Amino acid sequence: MSQRVRTSPEGSGQPLNEVYDTALLDLDGVVYAGGNAIAHAVDSLELARTGGMHLAYVTNNALRTPDAVAGHLTELGIPAGADDVITSAQAVARLISEQVPAGARVLVIGGEGLRVALRERGLTPVESADDDPAAVVQGYGGPDLPWGRFAEASYAVRRGVPWYASNTDLTIPSGRGIAPGNGAAVEVVRIATGAEPQVAGKPLPPMHRETIIRTGAERPLVVGDRLDTDIEGAFNGEVDSLLVLTGVTDGVQLLAAPPRHRPTYVDADLRGLLTGQPEVGREDDGFRCGGWTATAGSDRLELTGDGEAMDGLRALCAAAWTAAGDDSCALDGQKALARLGL
Ligand SMILES: [Mg+2]
């Protein structure tokens, strides 16, 4: 299982969509980027779905409702219903509902996704610190959230009202660059109050629990592009994970990953769901995958051979993670990665 120290990506003789009953897919950097579908996502997901795999979409973004996300996916050619989408707004709403009286008022600093999720749990969204809220919840509110909303949160939190956050991603990708995410907004209130929120989103357990409750998955595979949210969330939930390289993680970060950030499998994109995964073999002269052999030198990783780039990356992961043990690998992998075009 994921909690032991992983020292190599694993192999699978069977296609992953036959090994796992449910794919828990991150959205940004996995399925779409900047509103457009990522290469091979539409076709691969269609084949996985018609082959019998249940697909669920798991996002830390609390702004949009599951309905809106499902509509966007369907427009991209990925048929999805609201029930197939799990958001951090839903996870934080359940967390709050377990800790406050039924029907309690909750001060909302965020968007529609958060309000809908609170109502679904029988809670009453309110807008002012003077509405006697039993909780304060903060979720991403989009670019037009007024500064005064952080003041509203601070008034209530200062009075000792329990404070929750859907997620603490510091940044959010936009078509024009990197924008402040909900984590940055949470920092504003934290600085003003000195308080600490309870957080629901990836990589924390409330989000994983929400995902399992809603999908009923028995053998889930987390599919993501970020090591510190998707892959760490799978590690914390003790389930397997597939890292795809279509988003924010590059080869350097993957080779340096500490144990909680090491995925079970690595592939270029979502086509990896439909195939088996090659084994990395440990040989006398290094770690072999496909036509590549990787070794850990005194200050850098070495790679010899040729073949598929992903096989070379898997061999390098095994060399780096084995050398690092339960730490982060400090060996230079740049030159070896350059051979792979990564
Ligand atoms: Mg992502």
What is the model's pLDDT at position 67?
A: 98
C-alpha of residue 12 to centroid of ligand 1, in Å: 24
What residues have their beta carbon closer than 5 A to ion ligand 1?
26, 28-29, 225-226, 247
Catalytic-labelled residue, pool 26, 169, 225, 230? 26
| Backbone phi and psi for residue 306, each to the nearest 5 degrees, phi listed first | -160, 175
Ligand 1 mean position to 28 CA, how many Å?
4
C-alpha 22 – ligand 1 centre gap (Å): 18
- 4: pLDDT confidence band, cut at 50, 70 and 90? confident
How far is the C-alpha of 246 from the C-alpha of 251, rounded, in Å? 11
Q: Write the pLDDT tens digit of every residue in 11-38.
A: 999 999 999 999 999 999 999 997 899 9
26 flagged as catalytic: yes
Model-level pTM greater than 0.85? yes
Distance (Å) from CA 29 to ligand 1 centroid: 5
**Distance between Cα 293 and ligand 1 center (Å):** 30
Q: Going edge to edge, which strands form the sheet with 240-244?
A: 85-87, 54-59, 22-25, 220-224, 240-244, 265-267
